[in-house]
Chains A and B, each alone.
Chain A
Amino acid sequence: MTLNRRHFLTTSAGLVAATGLGGLGISPAFAQAAAPTYKPEEGASLRLLRWVPFVPGEEAAWLANTKKFTDATGVAVRIDKESWEDVRPKAAVAANIGSGPDMVMSWFDDPQQYPDKLLDLTELGEYLGGAHGGWYPGLEGYAKRDGKFIALPLCAIGNAIVYRDSHMKAAGFNEFPKDTAGFLELCKALQAKGTPAGFPHGKAVGDGNNYAHWLLWSHGGKMVDEAGNVVLNSPETLASVKYAQELYKTFIPGTESWQDVNNNRAFLAGQVSLTANGVSVYYAAIKDPSMKEIAEDMRSVNLPIGPVGESVELHQASTLSVFKHTKYPEAAKAYLQFMYQADNMNSWIEGASAYCCQPLKAFADNPVWTSNPIHAAYAKASGSLRPNGYAGPLGTASAATMADYVLVDMYATAVTGQMSPEDAIAQAERRAQRYYRV
């Protein structure tokens, strides 16, 4: 055991407190809450289960920060990767049997499925929020239960519209419409020019759910109220379905079968001129010299604002939790605290090349967001994010409703004419009620 580990203080604020500088009035700006100090247990080692990275630079930055932590504390951290859809069952099983990884980097409302199996991170969560300008409320919603942090929000994987600037201009629009009505007109004009838009109506876990939730929320609809009662069948939902029908008429044929990768493929092949996606579609274009023209012509913008009057989106959200079964809770907290230190978090956000949007407002001025104009739309993801179970409680019902594609199917049945909008909503309501039946 090294002296370093024995006396490791994980934050600069901790150092300040320990050396008494705080008492001398030489304190950093975030000294409003004393930084908690976590002393890793003797012989501690940690295992983190995380999703397979989408961007190599993100993983490299995460590993570099982890190495710094290990060098400073002697606590080895093993990182296991699983494809992003496999993280949920693996983490849930680990929580259930009380064995396996110590920490998990999970998706959406996963921590809300087994809150009693997770370590209380309230002290750290509140400190980090206070020190770094506060958590974004949408992300915070995923991480908190009954006022306590059961996880730390990590990032939003931003979703934004990507479009071909020249095609938009050729369709008679000099700038991108900001509202849903103007957006529909743009899509109509693009279709008339033979350069249509396309959004997935198939079982696309990420893109399909992003699109469906935006349609609903932008029109003021919601799946459940604050108490978890299903309130989907509303005039606002009906308006959103009717809007989706109109929009669908302007799409390239075949979007009913689109999965997550289809819109990228169609956009990069020049088949569609407008879709919504993560920033990865841009990086795929600039990597391939044959797509130089598309990459240069590509622009990004946030999804338009609907009658609800504000930008509201689902995005993908990720959190970090620590299992109660860990033998080294102090080491785990020290690790998290270290990863959220300003320099470490900033280098990680930068490494992710605009793929991961910051969880804390202080990191919004990270240079990555201004390094390329295409990144700008993705910088706002955490701000416009709403939890998938909005406006009700998160848990098994919200997770199951989304996993069962209730909203995606509602729009798909209506736009393809398999059901009237009213019937599609009624069916979706019945399906949602089954999950929210408790």
Chain B
Amino acid sequence: MSSYTSQKPRSRVADMFQSKNAMGLMFMLPAAVFLICFLTYPLGLGVWLGFTDAKIGRDGVFIGLENYRYLWDDPVFWTSVFNTVVYTFVASVLKFVLGLWLAMILNENLPFKSFFRALVLLPWVVPTVLSALAFWWIFDAQFSIISWSLMQIGWIDGPINFLGDPTNARISVIAANVWRGIPFVAISLLAGLQTIPPSLQEAASLDGATSWQRFRLVTLPLLSPIIAVVMTFSVLFTFTDFQLIYVLTKGGPVNATHLMATLSFQRGIPGGQLGEGAAIAVAMIPFLLAAILFSFFGLQRRKWQQGGQD
């Protein structure tokens, strides 16, 4: 006589809970839904709008590359591209150099070290609009404190036209952006500096390396992974800057400080030309991708990190 034990069939739900793949999928689902709803869909919609003649309040029809063709012949658009590239490049380089310098100072054993480290973060903590408003006053054509101080000293006769002259305006907005962005770079690089074992520096010193050699051949290569990440973010933030320009100049004087982001807004929302505004925003993507690729593949070269010359 043989015995037979009947086994209750497992439900599909139970099977699913037993499956690592299914569980993994389930755990990823909320994040995926979130990303699809709030990232992929808006991005896809933006790209689509760039191929339409959509206006605010009116659905558009597909017009292919017409928006891009018009932008190609639009001197204001090319001015904004030039401004964006200059703004991003100059501001990012300055933020990197000054941020690294600040990080190295803060990495030393200074009195009130923690206090200074906290203080450095202030420009980053202040909301951008508020700091932009402060700079608006600082750069005001009539009431600038800089102009006033220089006039008091007797170095200048009249106020400096900070935001009215194209070159001055570009320098001024870059200065404001650098002021605001340095803390992010400095504090992030400071964290990176603290991960470098002191023994490496000591060994290099014992080998007779000068302080510049120690910096160039020990500190910088070991810091490069974090530099890559920090500068990627810094470039992205700078390239897509909007608030600072919008408060300080709204893109003026005569579009001398219009960035692609501010031009996209001006054309898309107050101007009602959603399709064209979207096309300008989409035109930023190749530049952003190039910046990211440069940061990742350029700054993370393994040989360079190891002190080699490629």
Binding site for B on A (CB under 8 A): 85, 88-89, 91-93, 95-96, 113-114, 117, 201-203, 205, 252-259, 262, 265-266, 269, 271, 396, 399-400, 403-405, 409, 412-413, 416, 418, 427, 431, 434-435
Given contacts A256-B164, A257-B161, A399-B272, A113 and B249 within 8 Å (CB-CB): no
> Of A96, A271, A418, which one neighbours B254 at CB under 8 angstroms?
A418
Chain B interface SS verdict (over half):
loop
Known: A257-B253, A271-B142. A431 touches B76 (CB 8 A): yes
Contact assessment for B270 and A85 in the assembled complex, using a CB-CB cutoff below 8 Å: yes
A226 to B267 CA separation, bound complex (whole angstroms): 24
A-B contact pairs, 25 of them (CB 8 A): A93-B57, A113-B57, A113-B58, A114-B57, A202-B252, A203-B251, A254-B142, A254-B159, A254-B163, A254-B164, A262-B141, A265-B140, A266-B142, A269-B142, A396-B58, A396-B273, A400-B272, A404-B76, A404-B266, A404-B271, A409-B254, A412-B254, A427-B75, A431-B74, A435-B273
Q: Besides the contacts A256-B253, A434-B70, what 15 more A-B pairs have beta carbons closer than 8 Å?
A: A92-B57, A93-B56, A202-B252, A203-B251, A203-B252, A256-B163, A257-B169, A265-B140, A269-B142, A269-B143, A404-B271, A405-B266, A412-B254, A418-B166, A427-B75
In the complex, whether B202 has a CB less than 8 A from a CB of chain A is no
- A95-B252 Cα distance, complex, nearest whole Å: 32
Q: In the complex, what's the smallest C-beta–C-beta distance from A358 to chain B, in angstroms?
A: 27
Q: Is the CB of B252 within 8 A of A400?
A: no
Contact A88 B254 (CB under 8 A): no
Is B164's CB under 8 angstroms from A404's CB? no
A257 with B164: CB separation less than 8 A: yes
Q: Would you call A253 and B253 a contact (CB within 8 A)?
A: no
| C-alpha spacing A202/B140, complex, angstroms | 13
Chain A residues with CB under 8 Å of B58's CB are 96, 113-114, 396
| Binary contact readout B294-305 vs A (1 if CB under 8 angstroms, 0 otherwise) | 000000000000
Check: B180 CB closer than 8 A to any chain A CB.
no
> Distance (Å) between the CB of A263 and the closest chain B CB?
10
In the complex, what distance in Å separates the CA atom of A396 from the CA atom of B166? 30
Residues of B contacting A91 with CB < 8 Å? 57
A12 to B169, CA, bound (A): 59
Interface string of B132-152 (1 = CB under 8 A from A): 000000011111000000000
Residues of B with Cβ closer than 8 Å to A?
55-59, 70, 74-76, 139-143, 158-159, 161-166, 169, 249-255, 266-267, 269-273
A418–B269 alpha-carbon span in the complex (Å)? 28
B20 to chain A, nearest CB (A): 43
Which one of B76, B159, B253, B266 has the greatest number of beta carbons of chain A within 10 Å? B253
Of B57, B251, B271, which contacts A96 at CB under 8 A? Answer: B57
Given A202-B164, A257-B162, check contact A400 B57 (CB 8 Å): no
Alpha-carbon separation in the docked complex, A318 to B103 (Å)? 54
Among B141, B166, B273, residue most surrounded by chain A Cβ atoms (within 10 Å): B141
Tell me the nearest residue of chain B to A409, going by C-beta: B254
Report how far A356 CA is from B148 CA in the complex, Å: 38
Complex alpha-carbon distance, A396 and B55, angstroms? 8
